[in-house]
Amino acid sequence: MTTPVLTDTHCHLDAYDNPVAVLDDAHAAGVHVIAVTEDPGKYRLLRTRLGRRDGVDVALGFHPLRAGGASPHDLARFLRLLPQATWIGEIGLDFSRAGVASRKEQLRVFEAILADLQVRTRPVTVHSRGAERETITRLAQAQVPAILHWYTGPLAAVDNALAAGLWFSINPAMTRSKKALPLLQRLPPDRVLLETDGPFARCGNRSAVPSDLLGTLAHLAQVWGKSADEAHTAVTQNQQRLRGTDSGPLPT
Ligand SMILES: [Zn+2]
């Protein structure tokens, strides 16, 4: 049996200088890439650019910091593309300094997306900076078992997220952050997925790339007191549960 591939559940593939080279490197390392996008226009562009390439799913996104200047037409376009999207993201809320002014518009967009029942049947990767409780509450109400990507919110909200069936994706920058360690220790291994958030997240002095997932997994194995193989199995089983399947490797 082939080793099930790891999935980078949150990668801004279109923001690298050479997305195809990054994808080839990921494929060689046994990593499937979820290429998140920031708006429906970029989703369509990236899908066209990558064609029917192996090892990647392009995710339909509407970044919260884009919601401020968005028109009803943009939202309608997102909802129209939803039936053909295999992954959703990134969507979410950002009430940090960068986003607090567009709070109302962000909520309108996020709530409209979550109200569409199709969102429940697809993996969804979610941004929640500075708005963790608001994000978790809305995902719980909508019963969308989404992935909280690069969670930096209060530890006290983690139990609510777990009770709502949410997942957490961990990236290389988090494994190097002292601040993130209590979160890694708190999360049950059966709710953890991997991401890079590359090229924005750093791995040392360079941008993170999907093949860095192997190092992240080694770090998690240490935190969990598991062998590398056991950690690999735990994460790939999570990936399969996320997709509602437990048979064999993910399609590449
Ligand atoms: Zn991102």
CA of residue 146 to ligand 1 center, whole Å: 14
CA of residue 54 to ligand 1 center, whole Å: 22
- Answer yes or no: is 61 within a domain: yes
CA of residue 226 to ligand 1 center, whole Å: 29
In the chain, the percentage of residues whose pLDDT exceeds 70 is: 96
- Answer yes or no: is 113 within a domain: yes
Q: Can you give the pLDDT at residue 4?
A: 73
- Answer yes or no: is 223 within a domain: yes
The confidence band for 175, taking pLDDT boundaries of 50, 70 and 90, is very high
| DSSP assignment of the chain | -PPPPEEEEEE-GGGSS-HHHHHHHHHHTTEEEEE--SSHHHHHHHHHHHTT-TTEEEEE---HHHHTT--HHHHHHHHHHGGG-SEEEEEE---STTTGGGHHHHHHHHHHHHTSGGGGGS-EEEE-TT-HHHHHHHHHHHT---EEES--S-GGGHHHHHHTT-EEEE-HHHHT-TTTHHHHHHS-GGGEEE---TTTSEETTEE--GGGHHHHHHHHHHHHT--HHHHHHHHHHHHHHHTT--SSSPP-
Q: Can you give the pLDDT at residue 173?
A: 95
- Answer yes or no: is 66 within a domain: yes
CA of residue 85 to ligand 1 center, whole Å: 18
Q: Can you give the pLDDT at residue 233?
A: 97
Determine the average pLDDT of the residues in 61-76: 93
The confidence band for 2, taking pLDDT boundaries of 50, 70 and 90, is low
CA of residue 12 to ligand 1 center, whole Å: 6
- Answer yes or no: is 145 within a domain: yes
Tell me the pLDDT tens digit for each residue of 99-156: 999 999 999 999 999 999 999 999 999 999 999 999 999 999 999 999 999 999 999 9
Provide the b/e sequence for 204-241 (b: ≥16 CB within 10 Å). eeebbbbbbbeebbebbbebbeeeeeebbebbbebbbe
Is 70 exceeded by the pLDDT of residue 245?
no
Is 70 exceeded by the pLDDT of residue 176?
yes
Determine the average pLDDT of the residues in 67-89: 94
**Rounded distance between C-alpha atoms, residue 203 and residue 209, angstroms:** 8
- Answer yes or no: is 252 within a domain: no
CA of residue 199 to ligand 1 center, whole Å: 9
Q: Can you give the pLDDT at residue 185?
A: 97
Is 50 exceeded by the pLDDT of residue 247?
no
CATH code of the domain in which 119 resides: 3.20.20.140
Among 247, 193, 201, 200, CA closest to 220: 193
What is the number of structural domains in the chain? 1
**Rounded distance between C-alpha atoms, residue 7 and residue 16, angstroms:** 18
- Answer yes or no: is 249 within a domain: no
Mean pLDDT of the chain: 94
- Answer yes or no: is 248 within a domain: no
CA of residue 98 to ligand 1 center, whole Å: 14
CA of residue 1 to ligand 1 center, whole Å: 33
Per the structure, the complete domain to which residue 136 belongs is given by 6-242
